[in-house]
Structures are given as C-alpha cells and as structure tokens.
Structure 1
C-alpha cells in the first residue's frame, strides 16, 4: 500500500477511515519494534546505578560520571547504526533491513547479562544502539510510505508514541528485578521473535519498489546525493540540528525527572529503599504517561495547525515548564502532579521527528535522510550529554539550576524550525 497520487486531505473524514487491515498491521509491527528499541535505551537509564555500582565496586562518584559517558556511547552507536542501516534500507528494502536491526539489538542486549568489565558495557551499549538507531529510521519510513497523506501524521505519532510502552516496560522490569540488574537485559532478547512476524507479514512498499525500478543514474541511499544536493543537504543538516536539540534535552533534561524525584524524596526524609522505587515510579510511570499523551497529541496538532507551528509551540511551553518543575514543588505529591505536564511537553516533541523527517526526502533517500536527521542528531547531542554529566556531577551547580540552564536549548530549537519547510498536506517527495 502507498500514498495515492494527488490525494488531498479531507476535513470531514476521520483520519482512520478507510485504513486497511494491512496498514494497521504495519503500524503494529513498527510499534512493537520501537517499543523494544526504547526499552533497550531506558533499561540502562533505570538500572545503570545498580550495574555500575557492582562493576565499579561501589564507587558512587565514578557511577555518575560513567553513567553519562555510557549514554554518550549509546548515542554514538545509534548514529553509526542509523546511518548504516538507513542507507541499506533505501538500497535493499525496508523489510530485510528491519530484520537485521531487530536481531542486532536483541542479541547484544541479551549478552549484557554476562558483562563484567566497563569495556564490556561500553562495547555492548554501542552495538545495541546500532540496532536501535537503524530500526527507528526504517520503521518511520515504512509507516510514512504505507499510510495515506491524510493519516500519515497521526499514524507516525502513534508509532513514536508507542515508546511509552517501552519506558513502562523498562520501569516495571527495573522495579521487579531490583538490584539484580542482569535479568532486565535478558528481557531484551524477546524482540528477536518479531523477526518471524516481520518476515511473514511485511511487504515492501509500492513507493519503494516504484522508486527502485525508476532509479537509473542515482544510487538509492547515497550520502553523496543527500549531502551534495543543496535542497536535500539543507533539510538534512537542519533536521539533524533540530533532533540534536530534542535528544540533547531528552537525556539532560527529560530523564532528570527521576533525579528531581530522588532529590525531593531525600529532602522529605524518605528512606533510601523507598527513594529508589518511588523515583522510578515517578519517572517511568507518571512522567512517561504524560509524555505518551504529548506524543500522540503532537500528531493531531500538527495535522490541524501544521508541523512548524506545533514544533514551535511545544518548544516554547517546554522552556516554560522546566523551571516550574525544578523549583515549585514542595512535596513529592506536588512533583507528581507536575511531572505529566513536564513529560507531555519535553518528550512530546519527539513524535514530530517520526512525522516530519520522512516528509523531507524523496523515496530513494527517505530512510537515509530520516536516519541522518534523527541519528545524526544523536551524535550532535553527545557533547550536550557529556557537558550535562560534568555539570551535574561537579557539585558547583545544584541539580534544579543545572536542568533549568540546559533547558535553554529549546530556544535553539525554535530558531531552527523557522528555517525548515512546512509539509502539512503535501505528498511525500518522489
């Protein structure tokens, strides 16, 4: 299935009207892969203290430092894998590339169970991230090509919004396994079963097959074509910068919700055992629920108001909510009331990448360009993450002030969006 030529948006027709069983199936499969993608990233964020305390023999200062360093390694691995597999998806097809990425991240997640040294963790996080980065770009391109123009934004937002289930799964796994962190990584082997479903159910899109047959002088998935064609290069570089803002603020600001909960609970005199469970619940369940609503809402809002106004609105409101969450709550309960709004605005932006990036590039470069934007943004966000780790670990600046300062990056996101094109109601470029 693919977008029909000349299709226009119809205000009187529900976006889901007329969507075929196969189109829903593709969305479900894409969501399943992305859920476990997110699980692989979040399970480290949730279990890293227990993991690194064991490997570093209880050195708490080193745990904080290496925790953010390993997140940087994860972002770098996602960049490399995303660029590699995005290009392969444009050259050889969406289905075989999706199979390869799922196999990669599930296999190396399971092997983390056996990690004993820091270099084991570093290598495995890099390899897991390669699969994670590649799978997102392929799935985002697949969903955008399978759904019609009038439903593309909502379907893509649902796809990215399913990440909430991955975070919930990671939070629940982290709470259940407690300090026995190794078992949480065995769960990451389960998506290998998706491979059978993908191979049996997913077909190459008509859009990709038509483009493949028509290409004679240009190599699909070519980074030369992407970066030396002025039109596509401009979109790719601006898209990468936009994603860098979102990913940088995610790892330095959004995930700090758990740390802010810990700080609040410590100030309230709660015992250490309860602090661990309650902070994981605050971030992994309460805040993430708000984030999921923000992701789904992004698709509806950008279909109504346009991609650029929705991006700008989210960035402005995210900038406003961060200092409120950092300084206003005087109890854990008050913080719990604010965290869903915090998650809605700071995490909800990310649905825009799944909606918007595939709309910026022609079919021969769709997965490559989408991956360059999102996963190139991962690499560009690494310095932000490293700076964030040093800032939070230095002791010179309190956590609330550090998080508030890092949230100023949302201003940069607003500026970047102003230089990108509006794609609302337009067919995918061919």
Structure 2
C-alpha cells in the first residue's frame, strides 16, 4: 500500500452542502462530547462528597482527591476500550460509528446522575467513556475526508475547538444554574447530545472519499496494516505523543476546578462554585483560541513545531498553577496561569490535523483511534499513581506539578512521527 501523498480534491474545490453538513455533524458531536466530559470536572467534588459516605468510605479532602483521580483513571480506561470505533468506522462507515458513540456517551453520562453509590457512578463513567473516546477519531476522520483540501487544516483546528466550546457551555450552565440543578441535574443534561443523532441520521452522508474506497472483509485488517511497515513506526510514535498529551490533560488541566474549589474552601470563601466555573471558562476560552491558532502554527512551524510550542506552554501553566499558586494558596495566581494551561491544551488540535495526513483512507479511522484511545490506558496508570501521590502527600500540589515531566519529554519525542506540512491527504 503506497504511502505517497495524494489528493482527489483540487485547490479550487468548493465547500459543498454535504461537506458543510458533515462538518456540522462532526463539530456538534465533538462539542457535546466536551460538554459531557466537562460535567465531571465541575461536579466531581460535590458528587464524591455525597457518594463516598453512602458507600461506607471517608470523604475528606484527600479522599475526594483520590477518588476523583480513580474515577478519572476508570474513565481513561473506558476511553482506551473505545478503540473499537476505529475499525467499525473503517469497515461499516463513518456515520454509524458516530451515531453509536454519541448515543453511548449520552445515555451513560445521564446514568451517572442516578448513581446511589460510588461504584455505580464509576461504572457509568467507564461506559460513557467508551462512547466518548470514539468521537474524536471518527469526527476527525470525517472532516479530513469531507472538506476541500485547501480548507482541511483550517477546519481541523475549528473542529477541535468544538470540544472546548462544549466545555465552555458546561461552565456557563454550571455558573448560572449549578446551584439549582445540583450535580445530578448536571449529569442529566448529558442526554442532550442524543438529539444530535437525528441530524446525523438525516443530514449527513458518508464522505465520497471513503465510499470510493469502501472495503469488505475482516474488521481487524486495518489494525494489522497500521502495525506493519511502512506504518508501524509512526503508529507507535503517535501513541507515545498522545500519552504525553493525555497525561497532562487529565492529571493537570481537568483538575483545575477541583483544585480551585479546595483553595476557596481552605480560605473560608463561599464562592467555590463560581471560582470552579471561572477557571473552567478561562481555560476553555483560551483553548478555543489555541485551536483556532493551531492551523496557522502548523503551517508556519510544521506539525512538530506547533506541538513543541504548545507542550512548552503546558509546562509553564502546570508548574505555575500547581508548583507555585496552589501550595501558596494564591487563587489570583492560579487563575493567572489558567490561560497558559488553556492555550497549551490546544495541542490536541495538532493531532486532529496531523493524524489523518499520515494514513490512507482504508485504515485512517483505525490509526486515528489507535493513538487517541489506547494512549488512555497508559495515562490511566499515570493517573492512578497521581491519586496515590495525593494520598501520600495529603495535597494536590506535588503530584499534579509532576505532570509537567511528560511534556518536557514530549519536547524531544516529537520526531517519532513524520512531518507532513505541505502534503495532501493520502488516497
């Protein structure tokens, strides 16, 4: 199978109606994915404070931090299991894979709101993650294959901003109605994405590029292809780079709401909910801005250079927030480092552009899912270690500050994947 870059789209190719609908469906699904994921980051502390005693467990600050990390690790394990959506998309189509993943994460996010103990809560989070994890790979593949070649990089960045727009909407909802809804009501809003399935069923068709190369046979053949030469080295390299990114997101950025809530409670302030919403809003706004800037950075500095820049920002943000502001009890300083965490978090948008450029259509969704889902297993182990560190130290500070280390390693590991700047999407 040739690796030579090809394109079936000309530089003058217009943005057609089917391409617009495909992009809208992909962005909508990815935004609702971000909406559901952000709910947990905001309501983890109040949910666990209720569910831990109901499960016969202590609910002190360190206990809540530990079980929040355990729940994150379980969520990551579920996300790793969602690799199955890649082969499904390559064998049966992009649209059924999108519909299935959206329904799964919607139903089980809402199910978490019905939990009466921490173990049912964890099970719902695992199953929701199996749905969540498939959305990025399938949506990214759909956009890359549907939009004109001249717009592909730009729309890749716009697509990835969707998940943070969803997070932003969650922050707004929690800020304006969090007290009235409670943590259960927030989870019930997880059913909203299921409505998107109606649009996907009626308005979105399979990309022409995929239809022209639709294959039959074993669903697992793409897995064998991406793990053999000439793709094997880049496949494992992409997985390593995604492990770096996911470690930082789940152990650092997504813990911001819990961290600032604890700072507010320690200071005797009564605005913990407002501050948790505020830090989520700040990071979401700056990540959205970062995603919009990623196409420019990727064209100017290459895919590798853009990733290095954003990894460096994550190092600054994590060390500033957790090595300095949190141990000092400085809420203002913590908020001041949130923009760096937000903009740096746009490093995921680089992969939305970069991964489809490295593989042909027949195996593209599988390769995308391999890196973006299986990386969660390694990150889950790291997250459990951080949870242990929180218990051992009695604080979030040192364990979360150490999440800067994977990004430091990532500055040197970017060469594991090929530079694809200026290349067309392979056929």
Q: TM-score, normalised to structure 1's length? A: 0.89
Partner-residue secondary structure (3-state), 2:8: coil
Contact 1:43–1:170 (8 Å) recurs in 2: yes
For residue 374 of structure 1, what is the aligned residue in structure 2? 372
User: Does residue 2 of structure 2 align to residue 5 of structure 1?
Assistant: no
Contact 1:33–1:191 (8 Å) recurs in 2: yes
Contact 2:283–2:339 (8 Å) recurs in 1: yes
For residue 209 of structure 2, what is the aligned residue in structure 1? 207
Contact 2:318–2:403 (8 Å) recurs in 1: no
User: Does residue 306 of structure 2 align to residue 310 of structure 1?
Assistant: yes
CA RMSD of aligned residues (A): 2.4
Contact 1:88–1:221 (8 Å) recurs in 2: no
For residue 99 of structure 2, what is the aligned residue in structure 1? 99
User: Does residue 285 of structure 2 align to residue 276 of structure 1?
Assistant: no
The CA deviation string for residues 192-219 of structure 1, in whole angstroms up to 9 with x for no partner, is 111110011111111111111xx57x74
Q: 1:338 to 1:119 in 2, by over 3 A?
A: closer
For residue 359 of structure 1, what is the aligned residue in structure 2? 357
CA distance in 1, matches of 2:226, 2:8: 28
- Equivalent residues, number: 412
Q: 1:119 to 1:317 in 2, by over 3 A?
A: closer
5+ residue gaps in structure 1? Answer: none
Partner-residue secondary structure (3-state), 1:114: coil
CA distance in 2, matches of 1:127, 1:373: 20
Q: 1:256 to 1:181 in 2, by over 3 A?
A: closer
Q: 1:63 to 1:264 in 2, by over 3 A?
A: closer
For residue 124 of structure 1, what is the aligned residue in structure 2? 124
The CA deviation string for residues 347-370 of structure 1, in whole angstroms up to 9 with x for no partner, is 111111211112221111111110
Contact 1:294–1:344 (8 Å) recurs in 2: yes
Q: TM-score, normalised to structure 2's length? A: 0.89
Q: 1:65 to 1:260 in 2, by over 3 A?
A: closer
Contact 1:301–1:310 (8 Å) recurs in 2: yes
Contact 1:261–1:282 (8 Å) recurs in 2: no
Q: 1:316 to 1:337 in 2, by over 3 A?
A: closer
- From 39, 43, 47, give the equivalent of 2:43: 47
Deviates more, 1:126-135 or 1:145-154: 145-154
Contact 2:9–2:149 (8 Å) recurs in 1: no
Contact 1:241–1:380 (8 Å) recurs in 2: no
Shift of 1:400: 3.7
User: Does residue 187 of structure 2 align to residue 189 of structure 1?
Assistant: no
For residue 173 of structure 1, what is the aligned residue in structure 2? 173
5+ residue gaps in structure 2? Answer: 1-5
Q: Within 5 Å, which residues of 2 pair with 1:385-400?
A: 385-395=383-393, 399-400=396-397
CA distance in 1, matches of 2:122, 2:262: 28
Contact 2:102–2:131 (8 Å) recurs in 1: yes
Contact 2:320–2:334 (8 Å) recurs in 1: no
Contact 1:220–1:364 (8 Å) recurs in 2: no
User: Does residue 419 of structure 2 align to residue 422 of structure 1?
Assistant: yes
